[in-house]
Amino acid sequence: MAAGLRSILYPISIYNLPSGSKYIPLRREGQYGASTEQKRYTALIDEAGGYLMIKTLHVENFRCYESLDLHGLKRINVIVGKNASGKTALLESIFLAAGGSPELAMRLRVFRGMGRQTLISADRMSFESVLRDLFFSLDQTKKIVLRIMGSDENTASLQISYSDQNVLTLPLEMKNGTSVAGIYPLDFKWKDHAGKETKGSIRFGGDKGFEVDQIIDTVRCAFFSPGADTPPQEHATRFSDLSVRDKLEPFLKAVIDEFSFIKGLSLEIVGGITMIHASLHGISGKLPLGSVSSGVMKFLYLLLAIATYGKGVILVDEIENGFYYDRLPQLWSRLSSFCQENECQLFVTTHSLECLNAMLDTVEKNQDQFSLIRTTRDNQNRIGASVFSGKALTSLIRQGLDPRG
């Protein structure tokens, strides 16, 4: 390792921040805890005066988007578009705006396949290079602005920019040539519907690595990314949460209806880690979900997230991955009904025509619940996106036309 460089391990779990992280107390300190996640969210949602379902989205200076406004978003939003046309960036913008921690920005690096470790040195350029790609055209002099507006006209917005106040954090062991002057924190400012601001930042923490403020989630949001390696205990926590709230029954019924070879699901501890296990017909004992099938596991985790994050937002990048083609129509049907029952909103990307065609029956019956978002890159390499109705999506599929454009 080169002199003056530090290897820093990024967190992947919101519950497992690195030692360099700093927690800002929640507004109702002591009321919330990881095991009572639901209470925490419910309180915040109630405080916000109703749930925030995203009807419109404003993106400015984020990733490939210089400026974008999307209107007419629905309960299930299907995002299509060519490679490098901004599909994942769209999900990420929602993830950051609807989330509530600067740490989410660090997670995006992992989702994007950049690994959990990075090497930085104690200088401004090195620090700023880590999250430079969040900014449109890599121009970090402009603010990132993300704004969502949902039901009841509730809004949440996020501004990301480098602080105008230089906070110096001196490493414990200063070496010759080490300079931390001029390393400005990356500030995240969320604003709720009442105009109340919540701030957090990512700072250079000297030997400790990055200091990341852990704040709150203003909207319930989960991101399923092919690059994400969500720890099984996170899904187990959701499972447990449903069980505690006596809301496991519809979830279990949906799973068993869908996969008749599954007898039941339970939480078991293996190697000290709690994870969901399945008991199967014809097999004694219980298997971890991952050992049953990656498709089954993904399906269950999706339903689980929808059931847990009721009135929230679930983001799924490349939803078709892991599913056998004949499972897809039922997948859409189940996702649609689950989202409606739980008032949850879904944003999914797909490249698969098979996956889109499989949704015909479901979208025909629920046209007002769907939207089609098509991302585009024009001949001047400007990225944009357009929203089309569920009726348009139905028409395209029914006429054998390609919804991907």
Partner 1 sequence: MDNICPKKKIAFKSSRIILCEGEQDKAFFTHLVESRHLPQFDVFCPSRPYTDDGAVEGYDDMLTAFTTGDGFQNITGILVQGDNDDKPQQRFNRIAKKIAAAEGYIRPQNRLQVVRADNRPPLIVMMFPWEEELGALETLCLISAEAANPTIKQCMDIYFDCARIGTWSLVKQHKMRLRCMIASICKTDPYTSLVHAWSRAESLIPLDHQCFRQIADFLQNFDQFILEH
Interface positions with partner 1 (CB under 8 A): 353, 372, 374, 376, 386, 388-389, 391-392, 394-396, 398-403, 405
CB of 385 to partner 1, least distance (A): 12
CB of 370 to partner 1, least distance (A): 13
- Which residue, 152 or 368, is less far from partner 1 as judged by CB? 368
Q: How far apart are CA 209 and CA 141, in angstroms?
A: 24
Structure tokens belonging to residue 207: 């030997």
CB of 323 to partner 1, least distance (A): 20
* Nearby residues of 134 by Cβ (< 8 Å), 6 or more positions away: 62, 63, 105, 108, 144, 160
Q: How far apart are CA 124 and CA 128, in angstroms?
A: 6
**Amino acid at site 305:** A
CB of 372 to partner 1, least distance (A): 7
Q: How far apart are CA 121 and CA 104, in angstroms?
A: 22
Q: How far apart are CA 232 and CA 309, in angstroms?
A: 17
**Amino acid at site 316:** V
**Amino acid at site 337:** S
Which residues, listed in sequence order, are joined to residue 76 by a DSSP beta bridge?
346, 370
CB of 353 to partner 1, least distance (A): 6
DSSP 263-304: EEEEEEEETTEEEEEEEETT--SEEEHHHH-HHHHHHHHHHH
CB of 361 to partner 1, least distance (A): 14
- Which residue, 341 or 354, is less far from partner 1 as judged by CB? 354
CB of 397 to partner 1, least distance (A): 9
- Which residue, 342 or 375, is less far from partner 1 as judged by CB? 375
CB of 373 to partner 1, least distance (A): 11
Q: Which helix or strand (DSSP H or E) is residue 248 part of?
A: helix 248-258
- Which residue, 381 or 399, is less far from partner 1 as judged by CB? 399
Residue among 220, 221, 223, 219 at smallest CA distance from 319: 223
> What is the C-alpha end-to-end distance of the chain, expressed in Å?
48
Q: How far apart are CA 271 and CA 292, in angstroms?
A: 18
- Which residue, 21 or 371, is less far from partner 1 as judged by CB? 371
* Nearby residues of 181 by Cβ (< 8 Å), 6 or more positions away: 166, 168
Contact 337, 375 (CB under 8 A): no
DSSP state of 129: H
- Which residue, 86 or 102, is less far from partner 1 as judged by CB? 86
- Which residue, 19 or 381, is less far from partner 1 as judged by CB? 381
- Which residue, 308 or 362, is less far from partner 1 as judged by CB? 362
CB of 330 to partner 1, least distance (A): 23
Q: How far apart are CA 303 and CA 119, in angstroms?
A: 37
- Which residue, 330 or 395, is less far from partner 1 as judged by CB? 395
